[in-house]
Each structure stands twice: as structure tokens, then as C-alpha cells.
Amino acid sequence: MNTNIKLACLFFITIVAGCTKDKSQIREQSSETQKRVNAPGITFSPAIGVNYSAVSISGNFSTIPGANVVKFNGKTGIINSVAADKIVVTVPATATTGKVTVTTNNTTLTSATDFKVLKLLKQDTYQTPLGVRYFIFSRSGNGAAYIVTQTQKIYLINSNGTIKLFYSVPPKIVDGSYVEDYRIHGIDTDGDGNVIISQIQFGSLEGSNDIIKSIVLKITPAGKVTQVLSTQKNPVYALMWDRTGSNLIYMLGDFSMNKFTNTGQKIVLPWPVPAYGGAFVKDKYDNYYTLDANQIKRVGTSGSITTISGRQNIAGETDGQIQQATFTSYSTIAVDSAQNIFMLHLTNSLNNQKVRMVNTAGYASTLSFPTAGDNERLYADPYTNNLYHVLRSDNKQSTITRYAFK
């Protein structure tokens, strides 16, 4: 074989080998590319939320503890629970709006959309010549609220802060040493613009303070008043309206829970009492929340009872997962539109309170929120993204500060 033929053969063999190698690399690269393209993605819900809220992420995950790492725009979240197809995670305090990533077995998956982190921003503050006792919100979602004052009047406060007298109890009757007066001990709205209240009639003679009777009234926007229910010595101390079934749920003075149905039936209920004798704390679905045996519980309209967080009969102020969190029995509770629970938590000093949040996964955290003392309350409008801080300086004046999640 001459030299030219040998060189040609060598050139041909080299080219073939190179092509074979390149095709092999292409196949490997294509395989890796296809693996990434076909890798299962992740989706999450809700799409927005505040720091410390809970997010549910769907995808394919490891069930080995510690094998999954979730980040919100680069900040590591707190994993609450893991299943093969779902992770529930708490948004960390320092997270900002951005992509959600999940790393499992050295593979990182990134969400197609951003998770928007909402911040609690102060909107306005206004003084009212009213000593606020109860605070309930219109179901219309327009930000209007009804407040019961220390003087036993109900005022309508619109979202712009304007105040209008809505209802006043009958005037006090004084006959020598005998005094007869009325007090409001429960309030709710029914979704049709009507306000439902419990009004208790007291009679006092020479220092006694006896209950004459208790009535539940429905007050229309036009001011028309009709009686719904009447009790005698055992008064209605708290009430709520279950719009789903058009039923009245109420607590009597003996702490028994009852239902007055739309057909006129009275039914005794084996449900826990509300956290405070004067008001139910509800979400927009008419579930109510209470602190029972140091545990936060949700009671559904059907009577289902769910423990949200807390250790039974163990008081404290410990933050953390549902199994570690502790609460005292002296906290006020508010529930926002996303069913996050906010608590104005009394510490050892009545003049030193703090605001804690419990998300839907039961994780408890302490927020940076200004508090002032004992005569303050926290209310959440479950039909908007607003949170209200009410500071009552005396029976005649209150300061109301409105916050919004934006």
C-alpha cells in the first residue's frame, strides 16, 4: 500500500472515530437535557402571603426528614410537614418576593412564578370619642365595622373613619333606689346588612344586680328592630350568626353552647366556649376560634373541632411547630382573610404585651408589632386584608390604628 493510500485510510479512521465520539457525547448531553426538561415541576398555594404564613408546595419529594430544602427568593423556609407529593412550609421572616425552589437529592426545582410576600403596613390612625368594647366587621368586604361602646351604643365606622350612631339601648330607668338598665353582650352581622345583638336587661335594688331577661335582636340598616329570641335568668352572653345554615349560635350565662335554628328549634351543643365571654372570633367561613386548655381550636359550623396549635394544659409563650408552641389563657385572638391567627399575648406584666401569629400549619411566631398596655385589643377583618389595633384610654376615648397586608 503506497504512502498516499495509507494517509487516506488513517484520515478516514480518525474522522469516523471522532464522529462516533461526538455522537456519543451528543447522546449523553441530550439525555441530561431531556432529564431536566422532563423533571417534575413544583406548584404552590397560596400565591401570596405574609412572612411566617404557611405555603403548600406540590411536586415529587423525599419523605426522609431533612432531605428537602425549600427557599423563598433564596431564604430557607421552615418545613412543617412532608409527604411524597406535598410539602407544607412556613415563609421565613426575611423572605421577599421571588421564586420558590425545592432541593431534593441534589436536584433543585424552581417555580415558574413568584411567591409574593406581603408586608403589614400602617394605613391610618384616628381618635374616636368612644370607649370601644366590641368590634365586628361588615361581611360586604367594604371595610366597614360596627363597634359596641362602654356606654352601650353601637356605632358604624366606615373605612374612611367616619362614625355614625347605629343603635342605642333603651334609656336607664330610675325609680327611687331601684335602677333598671340594659347592656349589650354579643354582636354579629348576618351578611344581609343586618346586625344581630344580645341585649340583657338588669334590675338593681339596694346594691343587688339581678338579670330580668335577655333578648336577641335583629337590627336592619334602616334601624328596624325585631326580636329573634328571649331568655330569662340565663342570659345570652355571646352570639354569632352562621350564615350557611341561617342559625344563631350562642353561649348562655351558664357557659352552655346552644343553637337556635331557622325553624325555631333550640339545640344544646357540646362545643367549647368562645375565648372571651362577649364575642366569638370567626373567620369568613363562620368557623370560630377559641383558646381551650391552652390550645388554639377551630370549631366548624357542623361542630367539627380541630386543634390548630398548642400543648394541652401547658401555658407559655414558646414559638415553633404545632407540637412545641405554647399559649396562655389571656390572649386576644383575631383571624385574617387567609385564616392566619393573630394573638395579643399578655406577658407577666400587663403593660408588656406582644403580638404572635399562628399560621394554618400551626406554626407560632412572634411579630415586631407596637403594643401599649392592658387596655388594647387586636381585630382582623376576615373579609379584607386589614388588621386593627384598638387602644382604649378610658371609657370615653379610643385610638384605632388600621394596618393592611400589601
Taking a C-beta distance cutoff of 8 angstroms, is the pair 92, 76 a contact? yes
Q: Which CATH class is domain 120-405?
A: mainly beta
| Residue 154: per-residue pLDDT | 96
For range 163-173, the mean pLDDT: 94
Q: Where are the domains of the chain?
A: 43-118, 120-405
pLDDT category of residue 7 using cuts at 50, 70 and 90: very low
The whole-number pLDDT of residue 331 equals 62
pTM of the complete model:
0.85
Task: In whole angstroms, give the CA distance from residue 132 to residue 150.
Answer: 6
Question: Which fold, 43-118?
Answer: Immunoglobulin-like (2.60.40)
Determine the average pLDDT of the residues in 369-388. 82
Mean pLDDT in residue range 84-105: 96
Give the dihedral sign, CA 307/296/325/116.
Answer: positive
**What's the pLDDT band for 345 if we cut at 50, 70, 90?**
confident
Tell me what pLDDT residue 171 has.
94
CB 70 within 8 A of CB 101: yes
Burial label, 401 (beta-carbon count in 10 A; 0-12, 13-18, 19+)? middle
* pLDDT tens, residue by residue, 230-249: 988 789 999 999 987 789 99
* Average pLDDT for the chain: 85
**Do the first three CATH levels of 43-118 and 120-405 match, i.e. the same topology?**
no
Place of cell 386593627: 388
User: Do 296 and 333 form a contact (C-beta atoms < 8 A)?
Assistant: yes
Residue 36's pLDDT is what? 33
pLDDT tens track for 258-278: 999 988 899 999 999 887 555
Cross-sheet strand order for the sheet of 153-157: 132-137, 145-149, 153-157, 163-168
Length of the chain: 406
Most confident segment among 121-135, 165-179, 321-335: 165-179
pLDDT the model gives residue 244: 79
- 37: confidence class by pLDDT, cuts 50, 70, 90: very low
For residue range 15-27, what is the model confidence (pLDDT) as tens digits?
344 444 444 443 4
What pLDDT sits at residue 222?
Answer: 93
Q: Is the pLDDT of residue 348 over 70?
A: no
pLDDT of residue 138 exceeding 60, the answer is yes
Give percent above pLDDT 70 in the chain.
85
